[in-house]
């Protein structure tokens, strides 16, 4: 069996490839990697998926048997909580047992660096190459259990403008999607005037029959609840709490591209955070326009927050993120944080003193309109990669009657139109799907481009 790490760690189907033996082999390879860098301490966290604790115990046993000091989360925690603990507890690296937004059939193994962010490609490559090379060590079950969520909650409380949260009674709705963020927004806001109404806030290994991914089609309950309770906003988090989904006061889903733009403006103008900005190739042209107006340098990367995190480590970055709803802040750790992102959205609304839909209207008035859709097409094996390679070799000159002015091969193949709109074809690094991303200044253009794009690959 070949174990390969994708864009965000190793994920596989439980009891198929993701087994106790396979996880132990990965943990042993991780131990061998840490020995070479004279590592001493590792922090381990896990999400509420089926048997995540058991897999975390296996990792803890293997690392402990290799004479590492192991700190294990005493309960389910989010990936950003694990990442923060890795940094604050002076660990050499961290391990998070999670498959993020994948279906209930999957679990996974994420690695975090000592700096509190995704492991670098070099770390991943070294561990991957060591899998199966040495005998797995077991037998020692010596580790310390710590409440990583408490450390995390206290840190996030430092970041808000507390006076804004005590002006008047408001209601928000939180949907953790049966994932790691269950109950955490309520804890964060328990000493404020914000009443948090919760849905899907109990453990369910089947995630209510949905992917625990905070995208429009999965948030019908949240949208209805926001309207029914006349809430300020609805906040959703994915399975391991590093991504956010946003629903406005009218029950309308706010695209992750608009979410990025709103959080970027809040970070630069209201939080006064200094530094450059980083975005992935699949992220909105609004970001480019904001950076130009605010005189901020903009870095562009392939898809995957590990590339954004790498820039965080090398440069002073105010804000960085990606199209998936994963955003990182320069005043925090170099990691996506869905709960912090939701908190900042609430803070932004309170500061502006107007509905979120009106704030978005202001955004469009200043920087232009932007409408976005992404469609994931299931493919077999390397079919997605092959289709992308074909488009690279035979680049388009126009699509749906619109002329293409530029082709970007940073990750997949991205065709940019003369009106700044674009379409990106990209094979996923975590799932057997081909993703088609489209952003255009007119809503009708999005649907037209997407349908035309699907015909190119037989969709």
Spell out the per-residue pLDDT of the chain, length 459, in tens: 689 887 678 999 999 999 999 999 999 999 999 999 999 999 999 999 999 999 999 999 999 999 999 999 999 999 999 999 999 999 999 999 999 999 999 999 999 999 999 998 889 999 999 999 999 999 998 999 999 999 999 999 999 999 999 999 999 999 999 999 999 999 999 999 999 999 999 999 999 998 999 999 999 999 999 999 999 999 999 999 999 999 999 999 999 999 999 999 999 999 999 999 999 999 999 999 999 999 999 999 999 898 999 999 999 999 999 999 999 999 999 999 999 999 999 999 999 999 999 999 999 999 999 999 999 998 887 888 888 999 999 899 999 999 999 999 999 999 999 999 999 999 987 678 999 999 999 999 999 999 999 888 765
- Co-location of 197 and 222 in the same domain: yes
What pLDDT does residue 193 have?
97
Residue 209 and residue 320 in one domain: no
Measured from the Cβ of residue 36, the count of other Cβ atoms closer than 10 Å reads: 9
Quick one: 165 and 228 in the same domain?
yes
306 occurs within a structural domain: yes
Q: Are residues 81 and 55 part of one domain?
A: yes
pLDDT for position 458: 63
Q: What's the predicted TM-score (pTM) here?
A: 0.94
Query: Do 185 and 303 share a domain, yes or no?
Result: no
Report if residue 365 sits inside a domain: no
Same domain, 50 and 142: yes
Q: What is the 3-state secondary structure (H, E, C) of the chain?
A: CCCCCECCEEEEEECCCECHHHHHHHHHHHHHHHHHCCCCEEEEEECCCCCHHHHHHHHHHHHHHCCCEEEEECCCCCHHHHHHHHHHCCCCEEEEECCCCCCCCEEEEEEEECCCCECCHHHHHHHHHHCCCCCCCCCCCCCEEECHHHHHHHHHHCCCCHHHHHCCCEEEEEECCCCCCCCHHHHHCCCCCEEEEECCCCCCCCHHHCCCCCCHHHCHHHHHHHHHCCCCEEEEECCCCCCEEEECCCCCEECHHHHHHHHHHHHHHHCCCCCEEEEECCCCHHHHHHHHHHCCCEEEECCCHHHHHHHHHHCCEEEEEECCCEEEECCCCCCCCHHHHHHHHHHHHHHHCCCHHHHHHHHHHHHCCCEEEEEEEECCCCHHHHHHHHHHHCCCCEECCEEEEEEECCCCEEEEECCCCEEEEEECCCCCEEEEEEEECCHHHHHHHHHHHHHHCCC
Work out whether strand 233-237 and strand 170-175 pair parallel, antiparallel, or are unpaired.
parallel
Cβ–Cβ < 8 Å for 102, 174? no
In whole angstroms, what is the distance from residue 154 CA to residue 420 CA? 42
Strand ordering across the sheet containing 276-280? 298-301, 276-280, 317-322, 326-329
What are the backbone angles phi and psi of residue 278, rounded to the nearest 5°? -130, 140
Spatial contact of 43 and 138, defined as CB atoms under 8 Å apart: no
Distances 441 to 290, 368, 389 between C-alpha atoms, Å? 16, 7, 28
Domain boundary residue among 218, 237, 254?
Answer: 254
Beta bridge pairs of residue 6: 9
Query: Considering only CA atoms, which of 164, 356, 184, 355 is closest in space to residue 259?
Result: 356
State the pairing for strand pair 298-301/276-280: parallel
121 & 247 share domain? no
Residue 446 is assigned to a structural domain of this protein? yes
Instruction: Read off the tokens for 143.
Output: 């580790």
CA angle 204, 207, 208 (to 5 degrees): 95
Give the count of domains, the chain: 4
Which of residues 125, 149, 173 is at a domain's end?
149
* Residue 356 domain flag: no
> Are residues 197 and 89 located together in one domain of the fold?
no
**Structural domain for 110, as ranges:** 10-149
Q: Are residues 38 and 57 in the same domain?
A: yes
Whichever domain contains 321, its CATH number is: 3.40.120.10
Predicted local confidence at residue 321, as pLDDT:
97
Statement to judge: residues 181 and 202 lie in one domain = yes
* pLDDT at residue 315 in the model: 97
Contact of 206 with 318, CB cutoff 8 Å: no
- Claim to verify: residue 386 and residue 305 sit in the same structural domain: no
Distance (Å, whole) CA 363 – CA 345: 14
Choose one of 223, 254, 285: the last residue of a domain.
254
pLDDT of residue 383: 81
């Amino acid at each position: 069996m070949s174990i390969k790490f994708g864009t965000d760690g190793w994920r596989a189907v439980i009891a198929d490839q993701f087994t106790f033996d396979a996880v132990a082999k990965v943990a042993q390879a991780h131990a061998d990697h840490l020995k070479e860098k004279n590592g001493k301490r590792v922090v381990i966290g896990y999400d509420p998926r089926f048997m995540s604790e058991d897999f975390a115990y296996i990792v803890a046993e293997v690392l402990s048997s290799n004479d590492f000091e192991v700190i294990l989360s005493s309960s389910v925690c989010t990936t950003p909580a694990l990442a923060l603990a890795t940094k604050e507890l002076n660990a050499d690296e961290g391990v998070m047992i999670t498959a993020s937004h994948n279906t209930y059939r999957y679990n996974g193994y994420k690695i975090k660096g000592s700096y509190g962010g995704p492991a670098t490609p070099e770390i991943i490559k070294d561990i991957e190459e060591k899998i199966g090379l040495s005998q797995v060590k077991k037998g020692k079950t010596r580790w310390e259990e710590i409440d990583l969520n408490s450390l995390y909650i206290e840190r996030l409380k430092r970041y808000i403008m507390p006076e804004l949260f005590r002006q008047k009674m408001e209601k928000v709705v939180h949907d953790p999607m049966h994932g790691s963020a269950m109950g955490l927004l309520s804890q964060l806001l328990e000493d404020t005037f914000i009443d948090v109404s919760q849905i899907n806030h109990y453990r369910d290994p089947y995630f209510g029959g949905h992917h625990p991914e905070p995208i429009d089609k999965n948030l019908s309950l949240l949208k209805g609840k926001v309207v029914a309770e006349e809430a300020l906003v609805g906040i959703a988090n994915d399975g391991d709490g590093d991504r956010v989904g946003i629903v406005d006061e009218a029950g309308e889903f706010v695209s992750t591209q608009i979410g990025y733009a709103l959080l970027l403006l809040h970070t630069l103008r209201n939080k006064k955070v200094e530094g450059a900005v980083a975005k992935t190739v699949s992220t909105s042209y609004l970001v480019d326009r904001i950076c130009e107006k605010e005189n901020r340098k903009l870095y562009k990367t392939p898809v995957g927050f590990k590339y954004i995190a790498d820039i965080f480590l090398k440069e002073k970055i105010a804000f960085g993120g990606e199209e998936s709803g994963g955003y990182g802040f320069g005043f925090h750790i170099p990691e996506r944080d869905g709960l912090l992102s939701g908190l900042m959205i609430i803070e932004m609304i309170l500061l502006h003193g107007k509905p979120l839909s009106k704030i978005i209207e202001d955004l469009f008035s200043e920087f232009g309109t932007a409408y976005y859709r992404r469609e994931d097409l299931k493919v077999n094996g390397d079919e997605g990669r092959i289709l992308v390679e074909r488009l690279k070799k035979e680049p388009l000159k126009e699509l749906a009657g619109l002329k293409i002015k530029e082709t970007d091969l940073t990750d997949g193949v991205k065709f940019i139109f003369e009106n700044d709109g674009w379409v990106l074809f990209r094979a996923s690094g975590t799932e057997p799907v081909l993703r088609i991303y489209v952003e255009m200044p007119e809503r009708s253009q999005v649907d037209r481009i997407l349908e035309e794009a699907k015909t190119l690959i037989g969709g």
